[in-house]
Amino acid sequence: MIISADTDNMMRLLSQVILADGHIHKSELIAFVSGVQELGLADQSGAVLSADQIRAWFEGYKLELNKTWSTQAKDVALTHLILSLAEWPNKQAVVDVLAKISVSDAEFHIEEKTLISIVRAYWQYEGLDAPGATIVT
Longest distance between any two alpha carbons in the chain, whole Å = 41
- Domain span holding position 14: 5-122
pLDDT tens per residue across span 17-68: 998 878 899 999 999 999 999 999 999 999 999 999 999 999 999 888 877 6
pLDDT tens per residue across span 85-94: 988 988 989 9
Residue 65: which H helix or E strand, with range?
helix 51-67
Domain assignment present for 127: no
Domain assignment present for 128: no
Q: Record the pTM.
A: 0.84
Domain assignment present for 94: yes
pLDDT tens per residue across span 114-134: 889 889 888 875 555 555 555
